Amino acid sequence: MYEHDVIVVGAGGAGLRAAIEAHEHGADVALVTKLHPVRSHTGAAEGGINAALHPEDSWELHAYDTMKGSDYLGDAPAVDAFAQAAPEEVIQLEHWGMPFSREEDGTVSQRPFGGLSHPRTTYAGAETGHHLLHTMYEQVVKRGIEVYDEWFVTRLAVTDEPDPGERTCYGVVAIEIATGEIGGFYARNGVILATGGLGEVFDHTTNAIACTGDGPAMAFRAGAPMEDMEFVQFHPTSLPSTGVLISEGVRGEGGILYNGNEERFMFESGYANNEGELASRDVVSRAELTEINEGRGIEDEYVHLDMRHLGEERVVDRLENILHLAEDFEGVDGLEEPMPVKPGQHYQMGGTEVDEYGHSCIEGLYAVGEAACYSLHGANRLGGNALPELMVFGARAGRHAAGAVESEAEIPTGPTAKTEAGELDSPVDLGAVDAASPVATDGGELATPEEVLEAAIEAERERVETLRSREGVNHADVRNMVQRTMTQNVNVFREESNLKQALRDLREARELYQEVGIRDPSRTYNTDLIHTIETRNVIDCAEAITAGALAREEFRGAHWRKQYQSRDDENWLKHTLYAWNDGEPALYYKPVILEGQEQTYEPKVRSY
Ligand SMILES: Cc1cc2nc3c(=O)[nH]c(=O)nc-3n(C[C@H](O)[C@H](O)[C@H](O)COP(=O)(O)OP(=O)(O)OC[C@H]3O[C@@H](n4cnc5c(N)ncnc54)[C@H](O)[C@@H]3O)c2cc1C
């Protein structure tokens, strides 16, 4: 068994930042990650990182834009803390050696991004995430922070009191991918989940194949609810054949969207008369799909993004990576032709419910980055706000887990935060098919940390052996089923009948998953085993998204409902919680906090 003060699961931007900060505050910290740190998906981030650096800009404006972008579903303590700390985090990155793009006079460049009232997106070419990841990994190496890389965390070691708010997390169980060894990691202070997104829930996504929602799903099964999962961001400019992202930086630099009739539809059809292509992502994605669905798309599938007028010098200077992506994945020369684009799943606004220090309702269990919901992005994230988020909240959680934070959180979590029970007209039962199966349960019955961890390791060994002993269904068939129904039924446009169909299909997928088996008998680098375990996480996340979407009868941010065409603050200004209690999922709600430090964010019509 390995032992540290703080165990950080995941070594993308959020995990690295959390580890550095915990280490700065004296904690013995380790990173446990299924991918090598610099292969984490943060490396794919292209466009940039927002911070109010310019003298004419302010953190209050950044906070206001973020809250407006969230369609007033952000919690003010998280939004304010975020906007205030983003500039110092960007400056810190610069001091650590991040090669930001600069103006002639040497100042760090900032470009416009969707939904921002001031150009505040700093960037390093169109490879911002790559540089951010490498810059922070250098700091991890410099500090000698232990990295257990290619260790796949499969279970949390959590006590099993009936009330999740009374449980404690003592560590994690993980499989060493190179050997198949199942090991325990005891965390004296706490576990920070920084496992990233869940794009694998959909079949057209800008996310990598490793983005399977492991953190939120494991935490959910241990008793920490998932929050606001129905809010899924679909990015308007992904390449049709692969889902590879074409950065918002292209539109930030002046790129234009055209439909099949060569109309600049964002303006000409009145989707966003002021901001045009730079309206918020949910607005642009819906506009594109409306054009395509009404027959004004190209090949009934996509629209065009044109950057030819920007000129070769500017494109090569600021967007060179985009030229390579368009050429390599679509065979298009972006200097000579417009690029084909369509909406693709991109970002999960929801995640494990945590407070503004990243702490969940379970003692010692934290979540940060895309795996978490503080709630900062609410119903819709603004482009360029995820990278500063993982810096700000990674640092806050790292500090808290190291024991260096005195103040109490303002955002309540867990069952005590519940103010209202949810109602769901589900056509099928939800949750695990067999709640007693080791696949469905986490935690131990015993009291000491060692006993809790030992019990979790034992449960995991049994689970893996069961999977190995069956010659059953291939996990890929189950995952395909989930991805197909989610893409067809829980996409940008949502209707009640489709959402119900998705729940039926997910139930079928769960039943099939009971039969799943591992064909590859080897212990070393067994990707069959890893993908099979990940698929269970994909199902749990898909169900939380769909259940939340079916219950929420309004149109807010990224969540569009055919039958409910407006935001309904009277009934729906509240967060959705999807919790695992007593072997079955429960839906409930808690209020949104709109009272900030400097202003109360009064919900207004969100127009761009
Ligand atoms: C193509 C693309 C471009 C983007 N561009 C921008 C941008 O320009 N600006 C912006 O602000 N945002 C951008 N985003 C969003 C942003 O990049 C991500 O939200 C953010 O990088 C996620 O960081 P993370 O640290 O939470 O997760 P990741 O970087 O995905 O890291 C997750 C880590 O968790 C580990 N892990 C996962 N599961 C397990 C497990 N079970 N056991 C052990 N380890 C595990 C992985 O190995 C990895 O190290 C973009 C997103 C995409 C997909």
pLDDT band with cut points at 50, 70 and 90 for residue 435: low
How does DSSP classify residue 335? T
For ligand 1, is residue 347 a contact (CB within 6 Å)? yes
Contact 576, 351 (CB under 8 A): no
Q: Which tokens hold the place of 496?
A: 């009640």
Query: CA 161, CA 320: separation in Å to the nearest integer?
Result: 54
Number of helices (H), then strands (E), in the chain: 15, 22
Work out the average pLDDT over 367-386: 96
* DSSP letters for 404-423: ---SPPSS--SGGG--EE--
> Strand order in 339-348's β-sheet?
232-238, 339-348, 303-306, 256-258
- Closest-CA residue to 18 (of 396, 359, 443): 396
- Closest-CA residue to 117 (of 174, 68, 49): 68
Q: Which of 114-118, 193-197, 580-584 has the highest mean pLDDT?
A: 193-197
Alpha carbon of 566 to ligand 1 centroid (Å): 32
Alpha carbon of 372 to ligand 1 centroid (Å): 12
Tell me the residue type at 110.
Answer: Q
* Residue with tokens 């949502």, as numbered in its chain: 494
Query: CA 170, CA 189: separation in Å to the nearest integer?
Result: 8
For ligand 1, is residue 258 a contact (CB within 6 Å)? no
For ligand 1, is residue 13 a contact (CB within 6 Å)? yes
* DSSP letters for 423-488: ----SS--S-SSTTSTTT---BS-SSHHHHHHHHHHHHHHHHHHHHH---B-HHHHHHHHHHHHHH
128 CA closest ligand 1 atom index: 8
* Structure confidence by residue, pLDDT tens digits, 334-346: 999 999 999 999 9
Mutate to test the pocket of ligand 1, among 31, 39, 40, 173 (most ligand atoms within 8 A of CB): 40
> How many residues in total does the chain contain?
608
Which residue's alpha carbon is at the smallest distance from atom 51 of ligand 1?
A: 45
* Structure confidence by residue, pLDDT tens digits, 497-534: 999 999 999 999 999 999 999 999 899 999 999 999 99
pLDDT band with cut points at 50, 70 and 90 for residue 606: confident
For ligand 1, is residue 499 a contact (CB within 6 Å)? no
Bridge-based pairing state of the strands 365-367 and 372-373: unpaired
* Residue with tokens 């000579």, as numbered in its chain: 336
Q: Report the pLDDT value the prediction gives residue 440, as an integer from 0 to 100.
A: 36
Q: Report the pLDDT value the prediction gives residue 598, as an integer from 0 to 100.
A: 87
The contacts of residue 472 (CB under 8 Å, 6+ apart) are: 515, 516, 517
Q: Which tokens hold the place of 96?
A: 């650590």
The SS3 assignment for 140 reads helix
48 CA closest ligand 1 atom index: 8
196 CA closest ligand 1 atom index: 27
For ligand 1, is residue 110 a contact (CB within 6 Å)? no
* Structure confidence by residue, pLDDT tens digits, 533-552: 999 999 999 999 999 999 99
Q: Report the pLDDT value the prediction gives residue 394, as an integer from 0 to 100.
A: 98
3-class DSSP string for 529-548: HHHHHHHHHHHHHHHHHHHH
The share of the chain scoring above pLDDT 70, in percent, equals 98
Q: Report the pLDDT value the prediction gives residue 406, as an integer from 0 to 100.
A: 86
Show which residues are catalytic: 235, 251
For ligand 1, is residue 48 a contact (CB within 6 Å)? yes
Query: CA 476, CA 482: separation in Å to the nearest integer?
Result: 10
> Strand order in 574-581's β-sheet?
372-373, 351-353, 226-227, 574-581, 584-591, 420-421
How does DSSP classify residue 293? I
pLDDT band with cut points at 50, 70 and 90 for residue 443: very low
Q: What is the pTM of this model?
A: 0.96
Radius of gyration of the CA atoms of the chain, in A: 23
Mutate to test the pocket of ligand 1, among 8, 36, 42 (most ligand atoms within 8 A of CB): 42
371 CA closest ligand 1 atom index: 26
Query: CA 213, CA 534: separation in Å to the nearest integer?
Result: 8
For ligand 1, is residue 18 a contact (CB within 6 Å)? no
